[in-house]
Amino acid sequence: MTDLAAIARSGPASTAVDLAGLTVEALAALVVELGGKPFQGRQLFRWIHRRGVIDLDAMTDLPKDLRARLAEQAVVRTPEVVRRDVSSDGTTKLLLRLDDGREIEAVFIPDTPSQTFCISTQVGCAMKCVFCLTGTMGLARHLSASEIAGQIRVLARELGFLDRPFNVVLMGMGEPLHNYDATMAALRLIGSADGLHVSPRRVTLSTVGLVPGLDRLAGEDYMPNLAISLHATTEAQRDALVPINRKYSLSDLMAACRRFPLKKRSRITFEYVLLDGVNDTAEDARRLVRLMNGLRAKVNLLPLNAATGIPFGRPADQRVDAFAQILANAHITVSVRKSRGRDIRAACGQLVVDNNN
């Protein structure tokens, strides 16, 4: 007999199997156990992940008695939309409630030039980066694979993207590599040809640099684009801004990046939040040039999205431009990210909810 509890081993405690967290193969095994045919597991997966349907009664090509048996033992856990905020620039932020009542945020960023979903991998974050509001929450818990993939299903359903291409960035609440197994299981769910079939080329995973996680990621078949949240150019500076640097140093992180396998024409993106008077000097820029030496890389500069509770300011535009020009003069591909959704607190580093304690 299939161990139903083991199949649904992630997420909030429950005796019910969460169908939304199972692969096609696991669903087929479950359906067979309940008296159905293996191909009906594939049909079930398609209803959930391709069509965004969570009501078993609506899955009309499945036998009625099978749906009844599934309803006795299983659920389709899906984040509930609590609130939708729309920015003046078109960015949409969804407040989502999970099965245990905790809440997270996910963001839709239109015209980027691709349509982009920014999703969360944890309730809060344990990394404590000193310029990030999410870090002030601490870590309430990891999200399950179902809850991570569920955000994408909800965004696709709510915004009309079930049949349209979109990009995914794992840049919401949480550190993806701190929740490695659930994050990668979620990416395999959304990448399935029976589901939304999101190519890994359309997915970017952002990490502050958990080196063991980076080394594991290097061996994955489903290989997302990689973005490194760097933010500093010396060990002491990064120790102060990104505390995980005290465990996985800047030198160790850069060594991991140099050994990370890249597909042809792929590059690692290095994200660098510019803090007024802290890491935005010409010397910082020149040190960053040296760090990029020999790497297939591009740098994404993010002038700080200032917020109450964050003890830093946003540099003047002229200072940002001067920093970028030093990188460009050294033939490093550089861009300055335009903040989106700042008026609804949906920009980078601004995602925070206050009822998850």
Determine, yes or no, domain membership for 356. Answer: no
Determine, yes or no, domain membership for 303. Answer: yes
Determine, yes or no, domain membership for 349. Answer: no
Determine, yes or no, domain membership for 334. Answer: yes
Write out residues in the chain with pLDDT < 50, as ranges.
1-13, 341, 344, 346-347, 349-350
* pLDDT on residue 350: 47
User: Are 51 and 151 within one domain?
Assistant: no
User: Are 131 and 42 within one domain?
Assistant: no
User: Are 111 and 136 within one domain?
Assistant: yes
* CB of 323 closer than 8 Å to CB of 282: yes
Distance, CA of 274 to CA of 131 (rounded, Å): 10
Exposure string over 316-347, b if 16+ CB within 10 A, otherwise e? eeebbeebbebbeeeebebebeebbbbebbbb
Determine, yes or no, domain membership for 353. Answer: no
* pLDDT on residue 263: 86
Q: What's the number of domains the chain is made of?
A: 2
User: Are 45 and 109 within one domain?
Assistant: no
Query: Is the preceding peptide bond at 315 cis, omega within 30 degrees of 0?
Result: no
* pLDDT on residue 112: 66
* pLDDT on residue 6: 42
* pLDDT on residue 13: 47
Instruction: Kindly state the percentage of the chain with pLDDT values over 70.
Output: 90
User: Are 20 and 109 within one domain?
Assistant: no
Determine, yes or no, domain membership for 255. Answer: yes
Catalytic residue IDs? 105, 348
User: Are 267 and 150 within one domain?
Assistant: yes
* pLDDT on residue 118: 95
Domain boundary among 21, 55, 75: 75
Domain boundary among 75, 94, 124: 75
Distance, CA of 168 to CA of 90 (rounded, Å): 17
Distance, CA of 33 to CA of 25 (rounded, Å): 12
Determine, yes or no, domain membership for 183. Answer: yes
Tokens of 319: 């200072």
Distance, CA of 192 to CA of 304 (rounded, Å): 36
Residue identified by tokens 């090509």 is: 61
User: Are 149 and 290 within one domain?
Assistant: yes
Q: Using a cut of 0.85, tell me whether the model's pTM lies above it.
A: yes
Give the residue numbers spanning the domain of 65.
4-75
